[in-house]
């Protein structure tokens, strides 16, 4: 991680009521009681027994997800020749508010474009899944999929490099065509 990637935050100033914490604790208890009332009295519990039940198999009203609008793991799309579609224009990394996309461009070995990403990394732990990268891409090379069950035992495993992002494309292209 580079020094420029570190964001230093200032501690917010607390008001007098915030310093005593009691009003905030009571507000939190009120929210908890409201949710408990909804579950017990109105029978409105939206619990999914993951991994036996999957969110994509349930209706949205019962805690499921709407796959067409869900923003999950990124993928790098391939063109019709099977090459990475990205042209290394840095629009996605510029638009990213979390600064989780890192690209190293190189001269393209193909005649139809000037550059390609020699290195393309996305820190999935830092990403806020806002979709700005997807919106900024002029060639639709980066996309958010409906995959949500990713795991990693280390922070390094959650940094998706170009090969891993292209593998996500291969896994999801049939279910979610471009």
Q: How far apart are CA 88 and CA 95, in angstroms?
A: 14
- Residue owning tokens 């999957």: 54
* Helices and strands, number each (H, E), in the chain: 5, 5
The answer to the question of whether 100 is labelled as a binding residue is: no
- Tell how far CA 74 is from the center of its chain: 7
Strands (E), the chain: 74-76, 101-107, 115-123, 142-144, 159-160
Q: How far apart are CA 139 and CA 157, in angstroms?
A: 27
Closest to 90 (Cα-Cα) out of 138, 50, 144? 138
Residue set of the binding site for [4Fe-4S] cluster: 86, 89, 92, 96, 127, 130, 133, 137
Residue set of the binding site: 86, 89, 92, 96, 127, 130, 133, 137
């Amino acid at each position: 991680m580079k020094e420029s990637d570190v964001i230093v935050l200032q501690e917010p100033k607390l008001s007098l009521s915030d310093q005593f914490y009691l009003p905030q604790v009571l507000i939190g208890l009120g929210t908890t009681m409201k949710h408990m009332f909804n579950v017990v009295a109105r029978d409105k519990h939206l619990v999914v027994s993951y991994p036996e039940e999957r969110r994509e198999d349930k209706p949205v009203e019962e805690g499921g997800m709407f796959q067409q609008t869900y923003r999950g793991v990124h993928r790098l799309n391939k063109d019709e020749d099977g090459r990475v579609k990205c042209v290394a224009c840095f629009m996605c990394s510029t638009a990213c508010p979390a600064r989780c996309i890192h690209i190293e461009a190189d001269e393209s070995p193909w005649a139809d474009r000037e550059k390609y990403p020699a290195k393309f990394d996305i820190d999935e732990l830092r990403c806020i899944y806002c979709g700005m990268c997807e919106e900024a891409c002029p060639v639709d090379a980066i996309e958010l999929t409906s995959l949500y069950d990713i795991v990693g035992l280390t922070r390094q495993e959650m940094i998706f490099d170009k090969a891993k992002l292209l593998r996500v494309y291969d896994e999801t292209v049939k279910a979610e065509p471009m």
